[in-house]
Structure 1
Amino acid sequence: MTRTHLHTGHDHQHGAGSQEEILDLDAEVLAEHLRAIIEWLPLATGPSHIVDVGCGTGAGTFALLDRFPDARVTAVDTSPEHLRRLREKACARDMDDRVHIVQADLDDADWPDLGTPDLVWASASMHHMADPDRVIRNIHDLLAPGGLFTVVELAGVPRFLPADAPEDRPGLEERCHAATDHLHAEHLPHRGADWGPMLTAAGFALEGERTITVHIEGSRNEAIGRYALSALQRIRGAAAQALSPEDLAALDRLLDTGSPHSILRRGDLAVRTERTVWAARRT
C-alpha cells in the first residue's frame, strides 16, 4: 500500500531511494524468510486464485506464483508506480498471463470486483488501512468458504547497525527510530497491532500465528548495504528535526556514499527485525 510512509522534502536533497527501490530491496534481502512463511501456511491444496492486498512492487505476488504454479494472482495497490513496476516484472518473468492488476484504495466504500479467491495475502499493508476492521470484514466476505486470509506484518523498519555504532555516536540508529516514533504513532496507529482478535471478531477462525526473527549478516548479501542506505535516507528527513546537531552530522556521514564513513563501506551491517504472520480461515 502507498499511504503514510516516511517521506519528506529532504529525501531528494539527500539522495533517498524511491519507495519502489526500498520495496524491491526488502524483497531481495528477505526472500528466504518470505518463502518460509508461505511454506508454513496451513493449506491442504494449492490455491487457484490469490488476492494480494497492498501488493507493492510484487514481493508477495511473485513468491506466491513461484510456490503455487497453478495459481493466478489479483494484485491490488493504490500506487500506479508500484503496479507499473509489478507489471514490468511479470512480463520479464513471462508471468503476465497469471497476474491481474487492480489499482484501488481498499479504504474506499466501493471495492472493485476481486473475484472469489481461496487465499488473500496482506503483507505489510493492513497497518496502513484507515479502518482495518471494515477491510477485514470485507475480505471475510470476499473469500471462498474455507479460504485463508494471511496477514504478515514487519516489526517496523529493520535495524542495520551494531548498538555501539557509529564509533563517534554510538546508538545513533536507535535515536533515529525514537525520533520518528511519534510520526508512526500519529499516522500509522495500527502498526504493531495484534491482528488475531480483529480476525476472530470478523468471523475468521485463527488457525496459526508465528513470529519469525530475522537476522541476516551483511556478508551474506551485498544488497544489505544498499537496503540500509535507502532505509536510513528515508528516515533522515523525518528524524532531522528531533536529532541533535551531532547526531544529524554523524547520520549524514553514514549517508554520504563518497565518504570513508559511508554505511556502504561498513563490514558490520546486519538486517535485524521480526515478522509476524497470522493465518485465518473463513469457516
Structure 2
Amino acid sequence: MAHDHHQHGHDHRGPEHGHAHDHADIDWADLAPLLEAQAELYTPLYRQAMAWLAREVTEPGLVVDVGSGPGVVSCLFADTFPGARVVAADGAAPLLDRARDRAARLGLADRFGTLAGDLPGVLGELDHPADLMWASQSLHHLGDQRAALAALAGHLAPGGTLAVLEGGLPARFLPRDLGIGRPGLQARMHAVEEDYFAEMRAALPGTVAETEDWAALLTAAGLKHTGTRSFLLDLPAPLTDEARAYVATSLSRLRDRIADGLDATDRATLDRLLDPADEAGVHRRQDVFVLLAHTVYTAVRPA
C-alpha cells in the first residue's frame, strides 16, 4: 500500500511502508502527510525507475499501483504515461482520498481511479487486466508472498509487466562517527530493524517463510523475469529544510519502534540527535544526508 520508513520510513522496511493489509492500530489520515513527504522526497528515485520502465513497456493502457498509499507515485505514473489510465489500489481509504485529491489538483482526474480494499483481493474489481502493475514495498506485508505474486500475475494482460520494488539498501542519514556516542549508531539501528522486520513477517496471518529471490518468485508465478535494476537517492549535505525535517521525523518514529532493542548509550545518543536545541542533533548539524537504494524487478506475462 504505502510506505512509512518504512512506504509507501521510515526505515526501508518499516511496518507502515506498505499498506497491503489493514493495520487497525494505525491512523492513516494522521500518517498521510508523512507518507506524502517521503514519496515527494523520493521522487528523483521514482522518476529514474519510471524512465527505465518506459523503455520496457510500450504505451500501457492501464497502470495499477498496488499499495499506492496517498498516490504520489500513482500520479508520477500518470505523468510518465500520458496515454494511460492509472488505478491506485490500497487498503487504507483515507490515503486514497488524498490520492484522488492529488490527481484532481494535477489535472489527472479524468484518467485516475482508486480501489479500496484488502490486497490482492480487491484487484478482482478491475474492469480490465493491467498492462503495467507496480508493487512497491507492499508484498512483504502479505503473509504468503508467493501466492500474492500469482494473484497479481493473474490480473496482468498477456504481455503485461509486473514491476516489484523490494529490497535494496536501507536509508542512511548519519556519518559513521557522529562525534557523540559510539561510532556506528545507524548500522546498529539497521540490525535492530531487521529483527523487527522478521517479527513483523512472522506475525502476519498465513505467513509463509520465503527466500527473498524475487526473480525466482516471479518465475514461479508464471511470469518471465525480464530485468533487475537498483536506483539511488542521493541527497548530500547540507540538506534542504524539507529533507532535514524528513530525517528528524523518520528517526523519531524509528526511535518509537526500536528503542527497546538499543542499549542505553545508543538510546541517549538518539535522544540527543532528536533534540532540536542540541547542536549535535539532526535539526542543526550540517553533515546529515539521505542516501539509499531501491531495487526493482520486472517480469512479463507470456502473451
TM-score higher than 0.5: yes
Q: Is the aligned partner of 1:43 residue 2:62? A: no
**Of 197, 219, 233, which residue of structure 1 is paired with 2:252?**
233
Aligned position for 1:209: 228
After TM superposition, list the pairs within 5 Å mapping 1:1-283 onto structure 2: 1=1, 5=15, 19-41=31-53, 42-106=55-119, 108=121, 111-114=123-126, 115-155=128-168, 157-188=170-201, 193-219=212-238, 221-283=240-302
SS class of match (2:158): coil
> Residue 170 and residue 186 in structure 1: after superposition, are their counterparts in 2 closer, same or farther (change >3 A)?
same
Deviation for aligned residue 1:164: 0.7
Distance 1:215 1:255 in 2: 22
Task: Summarize deviations over 1:203-242 as a string: whole Å, max 9, x none.
Answer: 1011111122433213364322112112111110222112
Deviation for aligned residue 1:141: 1.6
Percent identity over the alignment is 34
TM-score (normalised: structure 2): 0.82
Distance 2:265 2:135 in 1: 40
SS class of match (2:96): helix
Q: Which amino acid aligns with 1:235?
A: L
Q: Which amino acid aligns with 1:143?
A: L
Structure 1: tracts of 5 or more residues without a match: none
Distance 2:170 2:60 in 1: 31
Task: Summarize deviations over 1:80-136 as a string: whole Å, max 9, x none.
Answer: 22212212212221222221111111155x754123111111112121111121121
SS class of match (1:118): strand
Deviation for aligned residue 1:146: 0.5
Task: Summarize deviations over 1:140-192 as a string: whole Å, max 9, x none.
Answer: 12111101111112436411001112533322222222223211112136899
Distance 1:157 1:82 in 2: 24
Q: Does the CA-based 8 Å contact 2:136-2:165 persist in structure 1?
A: yes
Deviation for aligned residue 1:44: 4.9
Does 136-145 or 182-191 show the bigger shift? 182-191
Q: Does the CA-based 8 Å contact 1:218-1:224 persist in structure 2?
A: no
Q: Does the CA-based 8 Å contact 2:173-2:289 persist in structure 1?
A: yes
SS class of match (1:161): coil
Distance 1:83 1:157 in 2: 27
Deviation for aligned residue 1:74: 1.0
Q: Which amino acid aligns with 1:176?
A: M
The count of corresponding residues between Structure 1 and Structure 2 is 275
Q: Does the CA-based 8 Å contact 1:127-1:191 persist in structure 2?
A: no
Distance 2:34 2:167 in 1: 14
Q: Which amino acid aligns with 1:20?
A: A
Deviation for aligned residue 1:258: 3.5
